[in-house]
Chain A
Amino acid sequence: MTVALSITDLQKTYPNGLVALRGIDLQVEEGDFFALLGKNGAGKSTAIGIISSLVNKSGGKVRVFDADIDRDFARAKSYLGVVPQEFNFSIFETPMQIVCNQAGYYGIGRKLAEERAGHYLRQLGLWEKREQMAQTLSGGMKRRLMIARALMHEPRLLILDEPTAGVDIEIRRSMWNYLTAINQSGTTIILTTHYLEEAESLCRNIAIIDRGRLVENTGMRELLGKLQTDAYVLDLAEPLRELPRGLPSSWELTGPNVLEADVPATGSLDALFEKLAGHNIKVRSMRNKTNRLEQLFLDMVEEEGA
């Protein structure tokens, strides 16, 4: 299998003494949809900044496919498309100018650039806005514009740093579908996000960074398999004053009609409903208390912090 991104002992200490990365090793295989998670300030954006030449590294090696970013920077950059966390285009230019200029920086002639611009701006729902100044676009449109811009040179590795931050759920879902389609067409994707359900539903492999160190690097299925229990919130048909005897003591009434219950990950929901039926408790609706990955993520970074 070809390695799309290889990071070895990556270190970064900022001039003010802040140690952002403490020797990270990471490999992402070609074709993967990879999640890079971590709390704010964990070091994700610094790592992405180094890979994309926006940040000087203090030590370590980075290879993008067969190109070392120090020795063969032009080839490494040509493989790479980056969608940063913050808007980084001139707000006085139009989407058409922004994407065509970006293509030009990769040596793509104007004619081909305009063809591709038409393709990507249409696919991302920005064609109607192509001649409007970027400052007039909504937050979601600006995010999509950055995705279109990053795709103009058809990169083999696409890095998205919180691409759906501040985007409404409808657009977020359509962006998920779009990114899935890009990944299925062969583009390797690395995604950082604070929406953990996004990582869970899109990504096959995952790494978690905490305080500049990699605390987990595994497959999404393997990681979720580590989950001991699933927690549910049940909306009860009749109010309860107290938890009836015989029900697990770990269950908790958080309101007269709200029961929080945990179920072993290896167990079945039938057992939960049988217990409730035994006490004549009827359930109107139920939902997961937290996203499963969110629970694991919190456990891991808290454990590391302790």
Chain B
Amino acid sequence: MNWKLAAVAYATIVRKETTRFLRIWQQSLLPPVITTALYFIIFGHLIGPRIGEMDGHRYIDFIVPGLILMSVITNAYANVSSSLFSAKFQRAIEELQVSPTPNFVILLGYVSGGVARAILVGVIVTSVSLFFSRLSMHSYLVTASMVFLTAVLFALGGFLNGLFARKFDDISIVPTFILTPLTYLGGVFYSIKLLPALWQAVSHINPILYMINAFRYGFLGITDIGLGFSYGITALFIAALFFLNLKLLNAGFGIRR
């Protein structure tokens, strides 16, 4: 293994990916800001006061962490799936395939690009939320680590989607039919304690629930799930997706004929 080559190649991919999403900021950075601002206005200001408190916090303060994490999830996933598919579609992925860049570096580079966009969007959405809520910080460490791990996990998910995708529709199916429902049902807008016992149990199958709860703990100091368990589940998914992606890349799945 030539580590100097790996380091330069990694930096090159991250630079290329970052340049790409900054170049198309109207598509990559602006829409999440507008969408979450609308959530803050409608759910926070118009409907929120009628709901009252949730777990001892104003409703808008309760939903802000979930909305931030929702933007992080969506953007980490979309950045990697669309960038990888676009590279496949334009055959630009061949630039990497013919080079001696190791596959794990390709994977890490794409994932880092997705994480960079997700965190930038997260910071922007958090800044916007300050206009609507009184955001406090219970634990910087939990907040920062959970946003990072969540971005990594969904960037890996986006990479997997990009490998499988054969047409543009294929990169919108998972976000529309799986990610969005799981995020909405993962406790962005409510505490799962409000659900009947059966649906509380069903909710525990949803991995996003653990991330949103841990992230909310970072801000508000409240959670429906144990923190250690949330970190464990997230780490488990990251490891599984990383090795699955690497195995598929090594086999040339979706990119080699």
Please report the C-alpha to C-alpha distance between residue A14 and residue B94 in the assembled complex, in whole angstroms.
19
Q: Which of B4, B6, B92, B102 contacts A89 (CB 8 A)?
A: B92
Please report the C-alpha to C-alpha distance between residue A14 and residue B257 in the assembled complex, in whole angstroms.
8
Please report the C-alpha to C-alpha distance between residue A250 and residue B96 in the assembled complex, in whole angstroms.
56
Stretch with Cβ within 8 A of A (4 or more), from B8-16, B46-54, B71-79, B137-145: B8-16
Interface string of B3-28 (1 = CB under 8 A from A): 01110110111011001100100000
Question: Contacts A49-B257, A92-B23, A109-B8 known; A54 to B99 CB distance under 8 Å?
Answer: no
Please report the C-alpha to C-alpha distance between residue A82 and residue B100 in the assembled complex, in whole angstroms.
13
Given contacts A53-B98, A77-B100, A101-B12, 5 further A-B contacts (CB under 8 A): A88-B95, A93-B16, A101-B15, A105-B9, A109-B8
Measured CB to CB, the nearest residue on chain B to A46 is B257
Within the complex, the shortest CB–CB distance from A72 to chain B, in Å, comes to 10
B203 at the interface (CB under 8 A from A): no
B176 at the interface (CB under 8 A from A): no
B200 at the interface (CB under 8 A from A): no
A288 at the interface (CB under 8 A from B): no
> Contact at B95–A106, with CB atoms within 8 Å?
no
Question: Contacts A54-B256, A55-B257, A107-B2 known; A102 to B95 CB distance under 8 Å?
Answer: yes
Question: Contacts A77-B100, A102-B99 known; A56 to B11 CB distance under 8 Å?
Answer: no
Q: Which residues of B contact A90 (CB under 8 A)?
A: 86-87, 90, 92
Within the complex, the shortest CB–CB distance from B52 to chain A, in Å, comes to 49
> Contact at A97–B16, with CB atoms within 8 Å?
yes
Within the complex, the shortest CB–CB distance from A306 to chain B, in Å, comes to 31
B221 at the interface (CB under 8 A from A): no
Q: Which of A53, A91, A149 contacts B256 (CB 8 A)?
A: A53
B91 at the interface (CB under 8 A from A): yes
Measured CB to CB, the nearest residue on chain B to A107 is B5
Chain A, range 67-115, C-beta contacts under 8 Å to B: 73-75, 77-78, 80, 82, 84, 86-93, 97-98, 101-102, 104-109
Q: Which residues of B contact A84 (CB under 8 A)?
A: 91, 94
How many B residues, CB 8 Å from partner? Answer: 31
Within the complex, the shortest CB–CB distance from A50 to chain B, in Å, comes to 10
Q: Which residues of A contact B23 (CB under 8 A)?
A: 92
Chain B, range 211-243, C-beta contacts under 8 Å to A: none
Q: Which residues of A contact B13 (CB under 8 A)?
A: 104-105
> Contact at B98–A87, with CB atoms within 8 Å?
no
Question: Contacts A84-B94, A92-B23, A102-B99 known; A107 to B4 CB distance under 8 Å?
Answer: yes
Measured CB to CB, the nearest residue on chain A to B91 is A88
A52 at the interface (CB under 8 A from B): yes
**Can you give 12 contacting A-B residue pairs, CB < 8 Å?**
A52-B97, A54-B256, A55-B257, A56-B256, A74-B102, A77-B98, A87-B91, A89-B90, A89-B95, A98-B95, A104-B8, A106-B99
Please report the C-alpha to C-alpha distance between residue A101 and residue B18 in the assembled complex, in whole angstroms.
13
Number of cross-chain contacts by CB at 8 Å: 86
Interface string of A105-127 (1 = CB under 8 A from B): 11111000000000000000000
> Contact at A105–B91, with CB atoms within 8 Å?
no
Q: Which of B2, B4, B101, B252 contacts A105 (CB 8 A)?
A: B101
Q: Which residues of B contact A53 (CB under 8 A)?
A: 97-98, 256
Q: Which residues of A contact B12 (CB under 8 A)?
A: 101, 104-105
> Contact at B97–A107, with CB atoms within 8 Å?
no
> Contact at A56–B99, with CB atoms within 8 Å?
no
Chain B, range 92-129, C-beta contacts under 8 Å to A: 92, 94-102
> Contact at B2–A80, with CB atoms within 8 Å?
no
> Contact at B9–A107, with CB atoms within 8 Å?
yes
Please report the C-alpha to C-alpha distance between residue A14 and residue B16 in the assembled complex, in whole angstroms.
33
> Contact at B90–A88, with CB atoms within 8 Å?
yes
> Contact at B94–A88, with CB atoms within 8 Å?
yes
Q: Which residues of A contact B87 (CB under 8 A)?
A: 90
Please report the C-alpha to C-alpha distance between residue A48 and residue B70 in the assembled complex, in whole angstroms.
45
Question: Contacts A88-B91, A90-B92 known; A105 to B257 CB distance under 8 Å?
Answer: no
Please report the C-alpha to C-alpha distance between residue A149 and residue B94 in the assembled complex, in whole angstroms.
12
Within the complex, the shortest CB–CB distance from A46 to chain B, in Å, comes to 8
> Contact at A101–B91, with CB atoms within 8 Å?
no
Please report the C-alpha to C-alpha distance between residue A100 and residue B26 in the assembled complex, in whole angstroms.
26
Q: Which residues of B contact A92 (CB under 8 A)?
A: 20, 23
Question: Contacts A54-B257, A55-B256, A92-B23 known; A105 to B99 CB distance under 8 Å?
Answer: yes
